[in-house]
């Protein structure tokens, strides 16, 4: 087993540990939001506003910045040393602050137009609320951009746990603030909670990067800084490509605004549940491999493609059983998490159906996310843009085909189908000599398939024999859910281990244990 594979797993597991805490608190945040606001037009207005601010974050801060900056910073650190890397980070921060400042001002001024584009089906009151909240939350972009730069620095220094728990701090701040002010401020409290959460994320990662010797203060960009020039040349193409990718949630919300009241909220709740495994496994692995692949490409294509194959296999090894369990128990998961307060039966059933549809796309989301990181590490903006453009077009086509017969579920299924097709295209567009090794050889596929089949063979009868306690206590519901969770994970783990899945050797080496 390669040392790069065990290192990738070790870094991924650290990310998973921190991300697990963050995602659990994120779900607690959604539970509180659901209990206070349910699935209403008022919450729909907040979600539209938050989507606009969050879109800018994903596009500029955590999207194009990560794609352009981390590979250059990692290579600068490897080839030129800490001082050159430190200079690159400070000059990048200056450019980033200027760019996000301009975008923030533009977003505040253009808020009415953006809301009309995002939610053309809103009535005047809903649109007015969304405009107000959009203007209130746009400065979130500046705070989270600094946090994202610090995260890129820390990841390149092989520090993954602190960036992973930074969103946990943000969620704690969000929950505490919302619990205090919601009765007086209503939906405005959600917007202020988002801002305070972004500030807390920024402060934690800035302080930790300073502790590591990288004090992130803006410095005047220098034209003779070749690494900065390369990063900036890649930034705009990556931003253009990622902007296409971010159209997918916008499409769902736009079409959802024409469905019944609460449709956008239902899709959001299902997506929030999906974010737990997505962040815990997919984002953790993709974050861990970007600096590693950026260094491996210096050693040659053989090492690079070995790293890509190991990441894809490990990612699917982790998410396939999660997707199966989520599809089988979506109704029970949503009921346990959200069914209280203003969150009624219609919202429960709608969210459960959407979550089932999303679960079908989890493997495709995993592969496409990892492969996009591989394209970023290779410095291939045109190929990355082609992949994201295909994803958007496929999502639009599937959404229009499925929204009438399946309503909300059709929008969720469209996203799943689009991501699955995107993964296939991304692999085909990744250039280079891949060697003779298959992507998914029999030694990998058979143990995983056996684990999934036996897992399903155990869980389906279990669900039929033991009814979920719809009217029981939280403790009773949680205990009921714990049994299939532990049993399913145990069956899959034992079967794949006994069948010789190579991922167990990687996990053992990551913990320093001889397999």
Tell me, yes or no, whether 407 and 491 share the same domain: no
Tell me, yes or no, whether 333 and 349 share the same domain: yes
pLDDT tens-place string over residues 70-108: 888 888 888 888 898 899 999 999 988 998 899 889 989
Residue 184 binned pLDDT confidence (cut-offs 50, 70, 90): confident
In a domain, 255, yes or no: yes
* Residue-level pLDDT at 183: 61
Tell me, yes or no, whether 414 and 377 share the same domain: yes
Tell me, yes or no, whether 436 and 449 share the same domain: no
In a domain, 514, yes or no: no
In a domain, 417, yes or no: yes
Range of the structural domain that residue 185 is part of: 3-440
Q: Which of 468, 314, 365, 334 is CA-nearest to residue 4?
A: 314
DSSP string, 496-514: HHHTT-HHHHHHHHHTT--
Tell me if 444 sits within 8 A of 313, measured CB to CB: yes
Q: Which of 224, 302, 243 is CA-nearest to residue 56?
A: 243
87's tokens: 């200079």
Where helices occur in 138-216 by DSSP H, the ranges are 140-156, 161-185, 187-211
Q: Is 105 left (phi over 0), alpha (psi -120 to 50) or beta?
A: alpha
Tell me, yes or no, whether 497 and 355 share the same domain: no
pTM value surpassing 0.75: yes
Tell me, yes or no, whether 434 and 451 share the same domain: no
* Res 61 pLDDT > 80: no
Q: Which of 514, 513, 506 is CA-nearest to residue 4?
A: 506
Tell me, yes or no, whether 273 and 409 share the same domain: yes
Tell me, yes or no, whether 393 and 465 share the same domain: no
* Res 448 pLDDT > 60: yes
Tell me, yes or no, whether 392 and 500 share the same domain: no
Q: Which domain-ending residue is among 411, 440, 469?
A: 440
Tell me, yes or no, whether 453 and 335 share the same domain: no
pLDDT tens-place string over residues 315-339: 999 999 999 999 999 999 999 988 8
Tell me if 342 sits within 8 A of 38, measured CB to CB: yes
Q: What b-and-e string marks burial along 179-218, b requiring 16 or more CB atoms within 10 Å of the CB?
A: eeebeeeebbbbbbbbbbbbbbbbbbbbebbeeeebebee
In a domain, 513, yes or no: no
pLDDT tens-place string over residues 203-232: 999 999 999 989 999 988 887 788 888 888
pLDDT tens-place string over residues 107-139: 899 989 988 887 887 888 888 888 999 899 989
Q: Which domain-ending residue is among 396, 418, 440?
A: 440
Domain total in the chain? 2
Query: How many Å apart are CA 288 and CA 279, to the nearest integer?
Result: 12
In a domain, 283, yes or no: yes
Tell me, yes or no, whether 292 and 197 share the same domain: yes
In a domain, 237, yes or no: yes
Tell me if 10 sits within 8 A of 514, measured CB to CB: no
Maximum CA extent, the chain: 70
* Residue-level pLDDT at 515: 47
Q: Which domain-ending residue is among 383, 418, 440?
A: 440
* Res 438 pLDDT > 50: yes
In a domain, 515, yes or no: no
In a domain, 379, yes or no: yes
What sign has the CA pseudo-torsion 153, 157, 160, 166? negative
pLDDT tens-place string over residues 3-58: 656 777 787 888 888 888 887 888 788 888 877 777 677 788 888 888 777 766 66
* Residue-level pLDDT at 372: 85
Distances (CA, A) of 177 to 26, 192, 295: 14, 8, 42
Q: What are phi and psi of 24, to 5 degrees?
A: -65, -45
* Residue-level pLDDT at 265: 85
* Residue-level pLDDT at 492: 96
Tell me, yes or no, whether 448 and 434 share the same domain: no
How many CA atoms are closer than 13 Å to the CA of 456, on its beta-carbon side?
Answer: 12
């Amino acid at each position: 087993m390669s040392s790069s594979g065990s290192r990738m797993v070790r870094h991924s597991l650290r990310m998973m540990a921190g991300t697990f805490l963050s995602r659990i608190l994120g779900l607690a945040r959604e539970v509180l939001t659901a209990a206070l606001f349910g699935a209403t037009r008022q919450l729909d207005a907040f979600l539209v506003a938050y989507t606009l601010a969050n879109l800018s974050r994903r596009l500029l801060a955590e999207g194009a910045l990560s794609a352009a900056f981390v590979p250059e910073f990692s290579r600068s650190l490897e080839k030129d040393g800490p001082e050159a890397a430190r200079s690159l980070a400070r000059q990048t921060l200056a450019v980033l602050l200027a760019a996000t400042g301009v975008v923030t001002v533009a977003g505040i001024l253009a808020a009415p137009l953006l809301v009309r584009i995002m939610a053309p089906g809103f009535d005047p009151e809903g649109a007015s609320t969304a405009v107000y909240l959009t203007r209130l939350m746009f400065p979130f972009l500046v705070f989270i951009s600094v946090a994202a730069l610090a995260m890129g620095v820390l990841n390149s220094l092989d520090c993954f746990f602190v960036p992973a728990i930074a969103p946990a701090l943000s969620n704690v701040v969000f929950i505490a603030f919302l619990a205090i002010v919601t009765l007086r401020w209503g939906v405005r409290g959600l917007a202020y909670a988002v801002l305070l959460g972004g500030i807390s994320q920024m402060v934690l990662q800035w302080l930790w990067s300073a502790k590591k010797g990288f004090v992130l203060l803006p410095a005047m960009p220098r034209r003779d800084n070749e690494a900065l020039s390369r990063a900036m040349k890649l930034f705009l193409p990556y931003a253009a490509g990622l902007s296409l990718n971010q159209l997918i949630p916008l499409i769902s919300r736009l079409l959802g605004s024409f469905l019944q009241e609460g449709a956008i909220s239902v899709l959001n709740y299902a997506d929030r549940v999906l974010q737990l495994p997505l962040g815990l496994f997919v984002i953790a692995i993709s974050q861990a491999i970007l600096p590693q692949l950026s260094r491996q490409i210096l050693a040659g294509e053989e090492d690079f493609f070995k790293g890509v194959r190991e990441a894809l296999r490990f990612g699917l090894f982790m998410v396939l059983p999660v997707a199966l369990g989520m599809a089988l128990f979506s109704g029970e998961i949503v009921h346990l998490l959200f069914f209280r307060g203003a969150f009624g039966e219609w919202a429960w059933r709608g969210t459960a159906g959407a979550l089932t549809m999303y679960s079908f796309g989890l493997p495709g989301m995993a592969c496409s996310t990892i492969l996009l990181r591989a394209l970023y590490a290779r410095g291939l903006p045109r190929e990355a843009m082609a992949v994201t453009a295909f994803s958007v077009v496929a999502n639009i086509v599937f959404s229009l085909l499925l929204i009438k017969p399946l309503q909300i579920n059709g929008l969720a299924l469209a996203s799943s189908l689009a991501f699955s097709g995107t993964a296939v295209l991304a692999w085909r567009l990744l250039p280079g000599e891949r060697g003779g090794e298959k992507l998914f050889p029999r030694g990998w596929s058979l143990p995983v398939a056996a684990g999934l089949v036996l897992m399903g063979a155990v869980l389906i009868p279990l669900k039929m024999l033991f009814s979920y306690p719809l009217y029981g206590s939280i403790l009773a519901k949680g205990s009921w859910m714990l049994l299939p969770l532990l049993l399913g994970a145990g069956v899959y783990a034992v079967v794949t281990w006994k069948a010789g899945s190579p991922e167990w050797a990687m996990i053992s080496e990551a913990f320093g244990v001889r397999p």
